[in-house]
Every structure is written in C-alpha cells, then in structure tokens.
Amino acid sequence: MDALQQLFIGFGMNCLLFVLTLVMALPLGLIITFGTMTKIKPLKWVMKTFVWIIRGTPLMLQLFIVLYAPGILWHHPVSNRMGAALVAFVINYAAYFSEIFRGGIESIPKGQYEAGQVLGLTKTQVFFKIVLFQVIKRITPPMGNEVITLVKDTALARVISVAEILQNAYRYASKGIIWPLFASGLYFLAFTGVLSILLSFVEKKLDYYKG
C-alpha cells in the first residue's frame, strides 16, 4: 500500500513537471522561433546556435549542467532540484517546439501573406487571422509527438534525484520488489493514452478543410 502511495506521489511530480514545462516552453518556443526567423542577422545566428546546442546535446547532460553549473561556476549551489529540472526541461523543449513552429510558419505559402496584404490587412492581422490557424493545423501532429515524448522524458528528472515516479519505483526494485516498476509503466501508459485520444480529437476537429 505504501508503495502505491509512493508511486502516486511520484507521478504527481511527473505531471507537475509536464504541465509546467508545457505552459512555459510553448510561449518561449514561439519567442525563439521569431528569434531564428528575424531579419536581424546577429540575433538570428545567436538563436540558431542556441537551438543547435540544445538540440544537439542530451537532455540528461543539460539537467546536470543546470543543477551543478551555478554552484561550481558562481558559488550559488542549486538546492531546488525540481526547479533545476524544470529549467532544463523548459529550455530543451522550447528549442524543439521552436523548430516545429518555424517549420509550420515557413510551410505557409507566400501567397497567403500577399493576399492578406493586398486586402489591406496589417502584418499582425495577417499573422493572427490568416497564418496562425493554418500553422496550428500543420504542426498539430509533430507537436503531438513531442508532447507524448515529454511525458516520458519527465522520468529523466530522476538523474538529478527529483522524487518522480521511477525514482520511487526503483527504490523498491533495489530491495527486490519488482511490481512497482511495472505499475509505474501503467501510469505512463494511461497518461499517454489519454493524451493520444485528446490529440486525435483535436486533429479531427482541424480536419474540416484540406490544405
């Protein structure tokens, strides 16, 4: 019984990490997208390099760096491990999201912008009234994949000792009790299952037109 409770509390951590990461990484990702698409060359290259570094290194490494770098480099040890995990996750996922956003925005034909422009719409109106919705429709499938990956990635927080579900399950396994490991698998399955249903519902909703 105690084990079940531990798993439940642990999974609460995973869910918290998931939700907070999503809420913060989505807007941050959009900002990074505009950074990588800006006409201001230096800013553009800084942002592109940033995205390249974040996507080109393991999330696990980023977790370690966020946890240990402040202490070692600036003598400000990080005591809040959950906070450190959140920072690493938000940065990592914002970088991935930004590339998906960029792909979506760049896939909209130039003619859509021009049609809006000759109809007297402002740049902002063109983006919000014409382009954005089409982008959302196009990026829903790849975003769905990322979001499901995020659910599972939250288990990585264990490497910096965040008391998430696998951390707790592993403590039992090390004592020779195996079932909590399988039980935690069920938690993930249930969560990703619900998400998949939700996502396919959204995709269906957006499928009222082609293109």
Partner 1 sequence: MAILEVKDMYKSFGKTEVLKGVGFTMERGEVISILGSSGSGKTTLLRCINFLERADKGRVIVDGNVIFDGSDTAKKSPSEIRKAQLNFGMVFQQFNLFPQYNVLENVVLAPKLLAKERPDFKKHKKEILAEIEEDARDVIDKVGLTEKLMNYPCELSGGQQQRVSIARALALNPKILFFDEPTSALDPELTGEILRVIRSLADKKITMVIVTHEIGFARNVSDRIIFMDKGVVAEEGSPEEVIDNPKNERTREFLKLIEQK
Question: DSSP string spanning 127-149?
Answer: IIIIIHHHHHHHHHHHHHHHHHH
Give min distance, CB of 211 to partner 1, in A.
4
Residue 130 binding partner 1, by CB under 8 A: yes
> Which of positions 101-120 make contact with partner 1 (CB under 8 A)?
109, 111-112, 114-120
Which two structure tokens, joined as six digits, stand for 143?
């975003």
Residue 125 binding partner 1, by CB under 8 A: yes
**Within 57-173, where are the H helices?**
59-74, 81-106, 110-118, 123-125, 132-153, 165-173
Which two structure tokens, joined as six digits, stand for 69?
């770098």
Selection from 155, 180, 162, 160 nearest residue 170 by Cα = 180
Give min distance, CB of 127 to partner 1, in A.
13
Number of residues that bind partner 1 (CB under 8 A): 23
Residue 210 binding partner 1, by CB under 8 A: yes
Q: Which is nearer to partner 1, 74 or 209 (CB)?
A: 209
Residue 137 binding partner 1, by CB under 8 A: yes
- Residue 87's alpha-carbon distances to 28, 31, 116, 183, in angstroms, are 12, 16, 39, 28
Residue 56 binding partner 1, by CB under 8 A: no
Q: Which is nearer to partner 1, 152 or 205 (CB)?
A: 205
Residue 139 binding partner 1, by CB under 8 A: no
Identify whether the C-beta of residue 31 lies closer than 8 Å to the C-beta of residue 184.
Answer: no
Residue 168 binding partner 1, by CB under 8 A: no
- Which positions lie near partner 1, rule CB under 8 A? 109, 111-112, 114-123, 125, 129-130, 133-134, 137, 208-211
